[in-house]
Amino acid sequence: VARKGVVFKSANRFYVDDSIALKSDYQKHMEDKYNVQVENLNLRSKVEAANKINNFVEGATDGKIKNLVKSEEIDDDAKSYLINAIYILGKWNSSFDKNDTFEGIFEGHTKRKNDFMNITGRFNVNMNKDYGTVLILDYKDPNFNNFFFFFLMPNECSNLENMRREITG
């Protein structure tokens, strides 16, 4: 979908290991209810499976999302994967100035140098002492006013998993 400078692309697919035969009613339900195509895939061939998933996602997002899945991340016991990747390009009401970008240390599973965007202003923010901070930016395009960008910023590296669990239920 593209409206007045806003681009929204999604890649949705339900991959099922080729050792499993889904009932046609279930497959139709997935396609009708969730608008997701069901496809069989040999999940035991991890490199081929990851390549197929990544090629689909890259094609559906015009090359903006690459290498979503790594072969070593495919679990030996996996029987299915629900893939959902979203790419949105649009202007926010408050834009980041590239001149205010600074280099710092990103603390994830490992520490590494990274560029950080920086902005000063009044924003919708939710601060939670247990999980972290959520910054909400709205898009400039009035036809896209039902969409917001949520920045999830854990307080500490150790809280990232807690935050993930909390927001995914």
pLDDT digits (tens, 9 = 90+) for 15-69: 999 999 999 999 999 999 988 999 999 999 999 999 999 999 999 999 999 999 9
Contact 150, 163 (CB under 8 A): no
Alpha-carbon span 64 to 165, nearest angstrom: 27
Q: What angle do CA 159, 120, 140 make, to 5 degrees?
A: 95
Residues 6+ apart with CB under 8 A from 127: 133
Residues across the chain = 169
| Domains in the chain with CATH codes | 2-89 (3.30.497.10), 98-168 (no CATH)
pLDDT digits (tens, 9 = 90+) for 137-162: 888 877 777 778 888 877 765 566 66
pLDDT band at 131 (very low <50, low <70, confident <90, very high): confident
Alpha-carbon span 153 to 145, nearest angstrom: 23
